[in-house]
Each structure stands twice: as C-alpha cells, then as structure tokens.
Amino acid sequence: MPTPVALAPPSDTATTTPLNRAATKAFIPTAAKAPLPETNQPLTTTLASAPGVPTRPSPRNTRWHLSRWITCAVANRERGMSTAEYAVGTIAACAFAAILFKVVSSPEVQEMLKSLIDRALKTTG
C-alpha cells in the first residue's frame, strides 16, 4: 500500500504573494514538505527489450508531480476568477443599459421628460 503524500505550501516565496501564502496555510494547516525525488533519478525508465522507449513514470514520481500540481492549484485557486466576474458584470451592465435605453426612448417617457424640462424652464425664467 503506498504511503500518503502530504501537501506542502509553495516553497518558492518569490513567486507567491502573501495573500496566496496565507490562503494556502489556512487551507492546509498541517502542511508538510512532500518527499522530493532524488536528483539523479530519471522521470521515466526504459524497457530493456525496447531501448529508448520510455515507460510510465515511477509511482513515486507520479505522486510527487500530483502533489506539486495540487499544491499549485490550491495556492492559485483564485486566479482567473476576476476575468469571469468582469464578464458577468459587463453582460449585466449591457442588459441594464439596453433596458434603460428602451424605457427612456419610449414615447411616454419622452413626453414626461419634455414636460418636466418645460416646467423647470418656466419656473426659472
């Protein structure tokens, strides 16, 4: 049975913001360093019967890469949401502008606005 791999917060503090580090620590309170593969260990191995043909990565490397991917996903989970929020806000603003244009350009509202302006000009001058 494989040993569970603990998720670790991003170790590169130069590329993470304090907000991301704080969110990561809050999301993973007992974060521990994930085991790193040996530096001289290749990511893939080759079959003896087919030299030069890589096989699947070892389970240890797969767990390490998955752990790193999850760590980055947790640290950067808010990235990209502002684009979606701006898109929804823009669509809502356009819909509101279209409704407002229809209301203001209707003959009844134009007549009311005209009478309001006429009354305002008569009282001042």
For the stretch 69-98, pLDDT in tens is 888 777 777 666 678 888 999 999 999 999
Q: What is the pLDDT of residues 18-76, one digit of tens each?
A: 555 555 555 554 444 455 555 555 555 555 555 665 566 677 778 888 888 888 777 77
Report the DSSP beta bridge partners of residue 54.
46
Q: What is the DSSP letter of 20?
A: H
For the chain, the domains span 18-75, 82-124
Q: What is the pLDDT of residue 110?
A: 93
State the Cα–Cα distance between residues 50 and 48, nearest whole angstrom: 6
b/e map of 2-17 (b: 16 or more CB within 10 Å)? Answer: eeebebbbbeeeeebe
Inform me whether the pLDDT recorded for 8 exceeds 90. no
